[in-house]
Structure 1
Amino acid sequence: MSDLLGQGWGPPGPMTLHDKTNKQNFLLLIQLRWIAVGGQIVTILFVRYVLGIGLPLVPMAVVILLLIALNVASLRRHSSQDAITNTELFLGLLLDVTALTVQLYLSGGASNPFISLYLLQVILGAVLLETWSVWALVFIASTCFIALTTFYREISLPAAHGAGLFSLHIQGMFICFVLAATLLVLFITRVQNNIRTRDAHLADLRQQSAEEAHIVRMGLLASGAAHELGTPLATLSVILNDWQRMPALEADPDLAQEIREMQGQLDRCKKIVSGILMSSGELRGEGTVRT
């Protein structure tokens, strides 16, 4: 498909269909990041003030502010007329993975039930990125996961939750599962809609190109036929001119009238052939006329 888009199948303008689809998917990634920012704020406040679990609010707030700044910059980038590249999509997801890693480091490391959100980032990368970028993202996310098993900030649970740690972990895993599943369904559904729209447009362009090619072939056929008809028409014109000067035929009024009628029809055929050649950008080489 990228070959077709690069060989003139795209619409007129500086951006191809592939570029427009990347731009739409980039906007979806921005919207998903806003959802992630809101989810982090709600989760941090709930854990800190409802469950009473101590969290480093200032560093975690700094990470959220950086994500907001990233989204503002991404919105400005999206509003520009330039195409969104695979590298930009990869860097955006890489920064999301980095922010998630920092938040997990500050809240228990690999024991945090939201550790499985790495899988969400990898799935989004598999949908949006080229092959090399996806595998690079898998490697980086896996490395971060392994690092969080050793390097992390422990969280202190209140005495009331000490015995129910496993229960809290299961609840967190369930919330993470529902969140990831919902976001994946929403995001991938919209990405598929973008892809279907692009494919439908590409099919229309193929159909239009086929119709234009058919018209060109018909034009070439008509032009070739007009050229082929030129010689016999010229021969008939010479013969009729000779007949008009023959005394035996001039003496017969009926024959003379039929010859003049034949000459008129012959001139009409010449005009039709000349019109066909004029439409194809050519001229008949008969006489000198002002055009």
Structure 2
Amino acid sequence: MLLLVQLRWLAVIGQILTIVYVHFVLAIALPLAEMAAVLGFLVLLNIVSLLRQMRRQAISNSELFLELMLDVSALTLQLYLSGGASNPFVSLYLLQVILGAVLVDAWSAWMLVLVTSGCFLFLTFSFRALDMPQAHSGELLGLHIQGMFICYVLAATLLVFFVTRIQHNLKARDARLAELRQRSVEEDHIVRMGLLASGAAHELGTPLSTLSVILSDWQRMPQLGADPEIAGEIAEMQSQLDRCKAIVSGILISSGDARGEGTIRTTATRFLDDTVSEWRETRSPAVIDYSSLIEPDAAIISDTALKQVIFNILDNALEASPGWIGVVAGRQADTIVIAVSDAGPGFEPAMLETLGKPYRSSKGRPGGGLGLFLVVNVIRKLGGTVSAENGADGGACVTLALPLASLATGGDPGH
């Protein structure tokens, strides 16, 4: 529709220039009032089409066909008022047919062929004859050839412009479809991983409970409790076992197999503070430099998946840079931005180009590269973006940008 509107503006300008040249330069009298009324109708049609385009409403084939029929009607009226089929611009009907063949369905394009053919035949028998001045009585053939040349140049220029834009749109559409297919494959991969994780969590529940019972029995055994070293190791085992059980419970809650106390409402600052604190406690002695600059603070809904995303990024940063990790959280308009930096070797160029693709990792171990893959897809589901870059003096920085609208509803704002 937008391309059709652009071409119609060009047609209006071209008709005005032609009418002015013929009427005032060539001194060939034209019915200016009637022709101006047709031009006014085209301008009004374009304004209505632009207003509809601005509302981003879906444009159907019938609407495009109607617009093309109105263009054909306007062209027919202008030709009727200026010599009928003898007017060299009558070949502009072919341009309308070509536009129809590209823009509308096959039946609509064939209907345009029938209508324009009928209009052409009508103009051969019914038209308003031009009042040619005596000065041009011997130049009719020359004027006709000039008009044909102008019509050819105009039609060729508009066709190249239009077809080029159509090709650009088709390439953009193909690229978008390829992106959607890739995203569908990745999301299907995530679904399979989620099902596997949920099943594994169910299976791990029984052995973890068994281990917990055994450790509790050991702690009550006097011969083991008398040895401080063994008692300390048992306590550490119990602590790690509790952590495993918490991880399994988190997987089950995320997959919908379990429900805790319900939705937790919090603020962006409190959520990030608690998340970083929890990560720091379980990864000691990790050195993390954390600062939150979210002003003003915003109410959000705590999201287990988002917490796991932040954990994954922090774990990757810790693995690359055990000595230092920097986390800065801020707010830009209605977007929360979280930047995680490290002092490690940075990303390889190939990794930056394929950020978020599964099994793209420099760690060289089976299954590596799933962390960032999950991070990118979870953030994308929340309507946000993930970017990564290497620092000028070494290290790397991964930045999350999350719209507050999705965090306030706990889901994708587009759904």
In the superposition, the TM-score normalised over structure 2's length comes to: 0.55
Correspondent of 1:228 among 200, 203, 224: 203
Mean CA deviation greater in 117-126 or 71-80: 71-80
Correspondent of 2:104 among 129, 136, 142: 129
Alpha-carbon deviation of 1:233? 3.0
Greater RCO, 1 or 2 (C-alpha within 8 Å, sep 6+): 1
Partner amino acid for 1:121?
Answer: Q
Correspondent of 1:158 among 133, 139, 150: 133
* Cα distance change, pair 63–276 in 1 and its aligned pair in 2 (3 A): closer
Partner amino acid for 2:130?
Answer: I
Q: Which residues of 2 match residues 12-23 of structure 1 at below 5 A?
A: none
Correspondent of 1:141 among 116, 120, 123: 116
Q: Conserved in 1, the CA contact under 8 Å of 2:219 and 2:225?
A: no
Mean CA deviation greater in 42-51 or 186-195: 186-195
Kindly provide the CA deviation profile for residues 198-223 of structure 1, in whole angstroms up to 9, marking residues without a partner as x.
Answer: 43334333333333332232222111
Cα RMSD of the aligned pairs, angstroms, is 3.1
CA distance in 2, matches of 1:74, 1:260: 73
Alpha-carbon deviation of 1:144? 0.5
1:30 equivalent to 2:5? Answer yes
- Report the equivalent of 1:87: 62
Kindly provide the CA deviation profile for residues 176-195 of structure 1, in whole angstroms up to 9, marking residues without a partner as x.
Answer: 00001111222232233333
Mean CA deviation greater in 32-41 or 236-245: 236-245
- Report the equivalent of 1:185: 160
Alpha-carbon deviation of 1:69? 2.6
* Cα distance change, pair 272–150 in 1 and its aligned pair in 2 (3 A): same
In the superposition, the TM-score normalised over structure 1's length comes to: 0.76
Mean CA deviation greater in 155-164 or 57-66: 155-164
CA distance in 1, matches of 2:179, 2:210: 47
* Cα distance change, pair 280–168 in 1 and its aligned pair in 2 (3 A): same
Alpha-carbon deviation of 1:32? 1.8
Alpha-carbon deviation of 1:255? 11
- Report the equivalent of 1:21: none
Percent identity over the alignment is 65
Structure 2: give runs of 5+ residues left out of the alignment: 263-415
Mean CA deviation greater in 70-79 or 112-121: 70-79
Alpha-carbon deviation of 1:95? 1.0
* Cα distance change, pair 232–152 in 1 and its aligned pair in 2 (3 A): same
**Counting strand residues as a fraction of each chain, which structure ranks higher?**
2
Correspondent of 2:248 among 264, 268, 273: 273
Count of residue pairs the alignment pairs up: 261
Larger radius of gyration: 1
Q: Conserved in 2, the CA contact under 8 Å of 1:244 and 1:256?
A: no
Q: Conserved in 2, the CA contact under 8 Å of 1:113 and 1:176?
A: yes
CA distance in 2, matches of 1:210, 1:87: 35
- Report the equivalent of 1:199: 174
1:167 equivalent to 2:114? Answer no
Kindly provide the CA deviation profile for residues 25-82 of structure 1, in whole angstroms up to 9, marking residues without a partner as x.
Answer: x233222222212211211221222223333333222222222232233333333353
Partner amino acid for 2:15?
Answer: Q
**Counting helix residues as a fraction of each chain, which structure ranks higher?**
1
Correspondent of 1:99 among 74, 78, 81: 74
- Report the equivalent of 2:16: 41
Structure 1: give runs of 5+ residues left out of the alignment: 1-25
Q: Conserved in 1, the CA contact under 8 Å of 2:197 and 2:251?
A: yes
CA distance in 2, matches of 1:134, 1:268: 67
Kindly provide the CA deviation profile for residues 131-168 of structure 1, in whole angstroms up to 9, marking residues without a partner as x.
Answer: 22211111111110111122222224334333332222
